[in-house]
A = this chain, B = another copy of it.
Amino acid sequence: MKLSFDKSSLMNGINIVLKAVPSKTTMPILECILLDATDESIKLTANDMEMAIETRIEGNILEKGKVAIDAKLFSEIIRKLPDSEIVIEEENENIRISCEKTNFKISGRRGDDFVGMPSVETNQYICVSQFTLKEIIRQTIFSIAPNENNKLMTGELFEIQDDKLKVVSLDGHRISIRNVELKDHYENRKVIVPGKTLIEISRILSGDAEKEVYIFFSKNHILFEFDQTVVLSRLIEGEFFKIDQMISSDFETKITVNKKELLESIERSVLLVRESDKKPIIINIQNNNMELSLHSLIGSMREDILGHHSGKDLMIGFNPKFLIDALRVIDDEEVTIYMMNSKAPCFIRDNEGRYIYLILPVNFIANR
């Protein structure tokens, strides 16, 4: 095999597929990137057996072939080479990388030993912009469950219904919901996508509003296709939680406040919270005023925020982290919070139905 590339196109390709190289594995071949130039194009592939990424890169095929190269070493060497033409030659898994006056010789592995991207028959797809997909992942991913105790909670629901895409994540204490209007007509579908896949995809996506992502579905897989890249991931099997019955539009208290003011105030309050001494933030709503307070072993904090309040007065306590997570991904200048009483969940939602963040309160009287 003999190939030549611009450093930048090779480096970009490596950075994309690196996202599917497992950090720990019992199969050393998975620590490799497959460099495949057996056809007319040059492809890089990595696969951690849950997710596989393949990307095509620009370059010249001087001699066809394929080889698997240790991903970490390969990426480090390419990164440190001069910004110039890079030539990669391979014979019997001996790899020579040359660039200007530099020559590296390293060992590779047989390309045929690499577990490539499985071929999957897809029967349906949707199309959204890279910007939209990157944003909805950012706006929901924080409320997946951090551990595997409940496998379903480690993924996100992607539900296509009536030409809308609804993305949902939940961890038992809160629910995040984002809705996006699709531009075309698509069949209804519900799948659960692993959170890890979404995190890695959002790192690869450029976030360009003009560029599209095609999302294909099969029985057990989801496939994302964008730019020169394909990401294939297993789906999580099972039936997602019935969230519709948890969502209510009733409320007894409603308050609208400046989002930045509220977020910054809660961010300050957590300075008084230590791992060993979790304390809720207490919100007291009265006379168009939201008083926030937090008392811990370290000290106390109190702050007033003016707002537009309707309905009953209310005092309610929350885990401050959950409010922070939701407020950080809401890009509106003002947020409206709807509450029933101090024991029912609050809803942060907009009028257009783009987002709903449900957060369970905590029993602050016991905690005070």
Contact = CB atoms under 8 A, between A and B. Distances in A.
Interface of A: 73, 76-77, 80-82, 101-107, 264-265, 267-268, 271-272, 298-305
Contact of A300 (B104, B265, B304): B104
Contacts of A80: 264, 267-268, 271
B303 A101 contact: yes
Contacts of A102: 265, 268, 301-303
Contact of A298 (B73, B82, B271): B73
Given A104-B299, A106-B299, A77 B304 contact: no
A264 B106 contact: no
A271 B76 contact: yes
Contacts of A105: 299-301
Complex copy number for this chain: 2
Contacts of A81: 268
A267 B79 CA distance: 11
B301 A264 contact: no
Given A73-B271, A102-B265, A102-B303, 6 more contacts: A73-B298, A73-B299, A80-B268, A102-B268, A104-B301, A107-B299
A268 B272 CA distance: 46
B267 A106 contact: no
A77 B271 contact: yes
Contacts of A303: 101-103
A244 to B, nearest CB: 38
Contacts of A106: 272, 298-300
Contact of A103 (B77, B271, B301): B301
A271 B77 CA distance: 7
Contacts of A299: 73, 104-107
Contacts of A268: 77, 80-81, 102, 104
Contacts of A77: 268, 271
Contacts of A300: 104-106
14 contacts: A73-B271, A73-B298, A77-B268, A77-B271, A80-B264, A80-B267, A80-B271, A101-B305, A102-B303, A103-B302, A104-B300, A105-B300, A105-B301, A106-B300
